[in-house]
Amino acid sequence: MQKMFANLFGSIGRELLSFYRSEKFYFVLGAMAIGAIIPLFVSDYVVGEVLTPMIIFTIYASSWNLLAYSGQGSLGHAAFLGIGGFASALLAIKLGVPPIFCLFLGSLFSAAIGLLIGLACVRLKAWFLAMVTFGFSVIIVTLISQFDTVIGGIMGFPTPLLVERGLAFYYMTFALATTSIFTMYLLMKSKMGLAFRAIHENELEAKMIGINTAKYRLLAFVLSTFFAGLAGGLYAQSIRYIQVSVFDAYYSFLPLMMVVIGGLRTMEGPIIGSVIIISIESYLPRIDPIMQGLMGPLFPSVSNVGPPLRMLSLGLFLVIVVIFFPKGVSSLLHKIHNYFREETKKANNIERK
């Protein structure tokens, strides 16, 4: 039976097979089960404002992560988040494209722009790429503002919904996220993924063994911006509004923080990072009044110390993670997992004796 599977789907089959046999499979299954069940037990508010954003930002963070696999760190990914959002919304509104295709076409559009920007960027060193991508996210605000009569981005506008808000939207997002991440997983296991890793590790050597580094970097760019655009389309639907503030630097730094804290260049990193950061942003504000009472007198120049303290902590968190835990929280979890595995082995050994 297994042999038939493998023969039919060739290398994809092989990949799926090895995955099925691995330990990871159970973790993934467990995570998916939790993700599928939790919404049924929490309030509408939590589903819509906490869980759904977690899933959407997982896609977004993963898209950034995909780019990072190839050694490219974009500081302007918000541009593509926003492009995806505006494109999918406008396609539905102005051109009457059926909702089913809007998200996909919006993502394609984002990828197309990603191709253009990528062409300029792929030969640049890491820091230049970061800067150019950031610059792009600044310019795009001005560009969209110039076409305000057509796009209406300055005031913004409500986005047409594909599915009703609430559980239906959550599950649609969840399905899309699972598909996206799984796709990325397969991509990274393929020859292309190997090329990405090779380029990241040592570009010169990669070139020497004949890898067309520019081509693969461009490919990473296009794929990354495709998924970022998808996340953008979903995000626009989730907050039911799209406006130029989606291009703010905050949205460019979010995926970076999520990925680095969660675990750079791992599949689970973006997921972990998204959960952590969205939780912080959703729940920590509730202790703002307490913080204001405690620390307010220390900082008389501010009327609400909550937000700056929170952002300060995130920044410190990021710096500490990069210096002391370069592989992020994910590496911590692996260590814990290995610890338990060792303990179980020892226990088993003792049992046998």
Partner 1 sequence: MQKKLIAIVVVAIVAVSAIIAGWQLTQVPSSEAESEARSIKIGLVACYEKAEGQDMDRAAKMAVQEINDAGGVYVAEWDTNVDIELVIVDTEDDSTGKAVSPVTRAVLEDEVDLLIGGYTSSGTLADQVVAIENRVPYIITGASSSLVTRRGPQGNYGGLAEDNQLRIEDEEGMSYMFHYCTTTADYSKTVVNFFAESMKPLLDSTYEFNASRNLRLAILYRDDAFGKGVKDDSKAIIASENLPIDVVAERAYPATATNFQTDLTAIKDAKPDAVYVVDFIAGTSEIIKQGQRDVGLNTVYIAVECCEDPQLYTLLGEYGEGQLLESKFAPYAGPPFYLSAIETYVTDYQEKYATLPGMMGADTYDAFYIAKDAIERAGTVDKAAVRDAIESSAIDQMLIMTETGKVEFSTGVNYHEIAPVTFVEQLVWNEDVGECRSVIVYPDTAPGVGTLKQADFVLPAGYQSGSP
Partner 2 sequence: MSGLVETLLWGVVNGCIYILLATGLNIIFGVMKLVNFAHGQLLMIGAYVAFTAATVFGLNAYLSILVAIVTIALIGAGLERLTFRRVLGTDKLNEIFVSLGLIYVFENVAVLLWGNKLKQITSPFQGLGLSLGEVSISYDLLLAISVVTVILIALFILMKKTKIGLAMRATSQRSDTSMLMGVNIEKVYIFTFALGAALAGAAGALYGIIFPFNPSIGALPTIKAFAIIMLGGLGSIPGAIIGGLLYGIAENTAVYFLGGIWQDAIAFALLIIVLVIRPTGLFGEKGE
Residue 251 site contact among partner 2, partner 1, none (CB < 5 to 8 Å, cut-off depends on kind): partner 1
Q: Does 130 contact partner 2 by CB under 8 A?
A: yes
Given a contact cutoff of 8 angstroms between Cβ atoms, the answer to whether 99 and 274 are in contact is: no
Nearest partner of 280 among 55, 50, 64, 58, judged by Cα: 50
Task: Write down the least CB distance from residue 266 to partner 1, Å.
Answer: 19
Q: Which helix (H) or strand (E) holds 157?
A: strand 157-158
- Write each residue from 283 to 322 as x if it is in contact with partner 2 (CB under 8 A), else as -, in one continuous string: ----------------x-xx--x--xx-xx-xxxxxx--x
Q: Which helix (H) or strand (E) holds 241?
A: strand 241-242
Positions in 163-192 near partner 1 (CB under 8 A): none
Positions in 230-259 near partner 2 (CB under 8 A): 249, 253, 256-257
Question: Which of 18, 31, 38, 135 touches partner 2 (CB under 8 A)?
Answer: 135
Please tell me the distance from the alpha carbon of residue 89 to that of residue 293, in angstroms, as a whole number: 43
C-alpha distances in angstroms, 260 versus 212, 265, 268, 297?
27, 8, 11, 34
Q: Which of 55/140 has CB closer to partner 2?
A: 140
> What dihedral do alpha carbons 72, 31, 335, 281 form, nearest 10°?
60
Please tell me the distance from the alpha carbon of residue 202 to that of residue 328, in angstroms, as a whole number: 22
Please tell me the distance from the alpha carbon of residue 138 to that of residue 57, in angstroms, as a whole number: 21
Task: Write down the least CB distance from residue 121 to partner 1, Å.
Answer: 25
Q: Which of 171/317 has CB closer to partner 2?
A: 317
Please tell me the distance from the alpha carbon of residue 35 to that of residue 334, in angstroms, as a whole number: 21
Please tell me the distance from the alpha carbon of residue 182 to that of residue 100, in angstroms, as a whole number: 21
Question: Which of 54, 89, 184, 219 touches partner 1 (CB under 8 A)?
Answer: 89
Please tell me the distance from the alpha carbon of residue 73 to that of residue 115, in angstroms, as a whole number: 16
Q: Which of 149/204 has CB closer to partner 1?
A: 149
Interacting stretch for partner 2, rule CB under 8 A, among 93-101, 130-138, 166-174, 229-237? 130-138
Helix axes 126-146, 99-121, angle to 10 degrees: 130
Question: Which of 17, 245, 291, 334 touches partner 1 (CB under 8 A)?
Answer: 245
**Residue numbers of the site for partner 2 (CB under 8 A)?**
68, 71, 73, 75, 120, 123-128, 130-132, 134-136, 138-139, 141-143, 145, 249, 253, 256-257, 260, 264, 299, 301-302, 305, 308-309, 311-312, 314-319, 322-323, 326
**Residue numbers of the site for partner 1 (CB under 8 A)?**
23, 26-27, 29-30, 33-34, 37-38, 41-45, 48-49, 89, 93-94, 145, 148, 152, 154-160, 239-243, 245-246, 248, 251, 285, 288-289, 303-304, 307, 344
